[in-house]
Amino acid sequence: MKRILRSIALTAMLFVWMPVQAQAAGFLVPVGEVIGLQLGSDTLTVVAYDDALGAAARDAGLKIGDELVKIGEKNIGGPEDIRSALQAQSSDVILTVRRGSKLSTLHMTPCQTEDGPRLGVYLRQGIAGIGTVTYYDPETGYFGTLGHGVNNSKGGLLNMTEGSVYTASVQSVKKGKSGEPGQLKGSADGSVPFGVLLRNTDRGVFGISTQGWQGQPVPVAEFEEVQTGPAIIRSTVSGGTPREYSVEILKIYPQSRQDARNFLLKVTDPQLLELTGGIVQGMSGSPILQNGKLIGAVTHVLVSDAATGYGIYIGNMLDAAA
């Protein structure tokens, strides 16, 4: 049975165009709250076989992770394209799929059901997850989150066609340890979005909120002001309320580095280490502050050391949003 998965039960990672570069970057609110992100795309990816109808897809060679490109001569951009393409075929169909960087063609006979022909697989369109809001500009409504991009199933940057933002809360924490990154597990608190996502980039995901976040705006630091030594991060690791935790900036890399790794940092806060083991998935985007200024966001954790990870310089996020 061909189905499209649209769940907003969230795991860690989430319109009208408006010019993001309109935001004022001198003072921003460091947020640290978890939000639900739903990113739509123009690709459909096979994520599972239907228990009853999946044999034909398996026999045809359709694999988990394949991206459905065409049925016959019809390009596939959504579920309606699949329905109309299958109904237009009398028996066998030719599927064009993207597997890695290569296109392949497969021949299969769709399953005939009371609801019409079906491929017998579950498909996913877009990605849903949670992330942490780095900053909010109360003058414009613009915000940034994650500090890195959301990737597709092939590891490349997801081509986001639309996106929505939902309130969310952390339900549980899988504690990180050496060799095994931890994870925040959360869920959306409502089905009505309170903002839209405008851009998915390799240095963050950016959007505009209709309700915003409370907080005192702080200055945005120049790169030369960032120092090794004590700093704090603002994160939500339980419920929906952010807290501040102590970290140490161990090393500063060049601002020109484009892989969202401008700082090497280590969690030193005993309470956060007890709760999470350090940096876990879902904390991406947690704002980093030093000497009263916003300097960046947490982006990655070291697999070999859950207490240690990387951060991106806030100026690089703002440049990506512009």
Q: What is the pLDDT of residues 71-112, one digit of tens each?
A: 998 898 888 888 888 888 767 899 999 887 789 999 999 988
How far, rounded to the nearest angstrom, does the alpha carbon of residue 312 sit from its chain's CA centroid?
16
Instruction: Determine the Cα–Cα distance for residues 110 and 297; give it in Å rounded to an integer.
Output: 48
- Beta strands of 175-241 (E only): which ranges? 183-188, 195-201, 204-209, 218-219, 229-235
* In contact, 280 and 306? CB cutoff 8 Å: yes
Paired sense of beta strands 3-5 and 121-124, if any = parallel
| Cβ neighbour number for residue 223 with a 10 Å cutoff | 16
CA-based torsion, 18, 19, 24, 27: positive or negative:
positive
The model's pLDDT over 137-178, given as tens digits with 9 standing for 90+, comes to: 999 999 999 999 998 767 789 889 899 999 999 999 999 998
Lowest mean pLDDT of 126-135, 165-174, 186-195, 272-281, name the range: 186-195
pLDDT at 19: 37
Q: Inform me whether the pLDDT recorded for 133 exceeds 90.
A: yes
Q: What is the pLDDT of residues 7-57, one digit of tens each?
A: 334 445 532 233 333 344 589 999 999 999 999 888 888 889 988 888 999
pLDDT of residue 191: 77
pLDDT at 24: 43
Which residue matches tokens 């290569």?
102
Give dist(CA 107, CA 57) in Å, integer: 9
Q: Is the pTM of this model over 0.85?
A: no
Residue indicated by tokens 């039960």? 9
Is residue 86 a contact partner of residue 118, using CB atoms and an 8 Å limit? yes
| Band of residue 319 on the pLDDT scale cut at 50, 70, 90 | very high
Report pLDDT digits (tens) over 179-227: 899 999 888 777 789 999 999 999 999 999 999 999 999 999 999 999 9
User: Exposure pattern of 285-322 as b/e (b: 16+ CB <10 Å)?
Assistant: bbbbbbeebbbbbbbbbbeebbbbbbbbbbbbbbebbe
Active site residues: 148, 269, 284
CA atoms within 13 A on the CB side of 136: 20
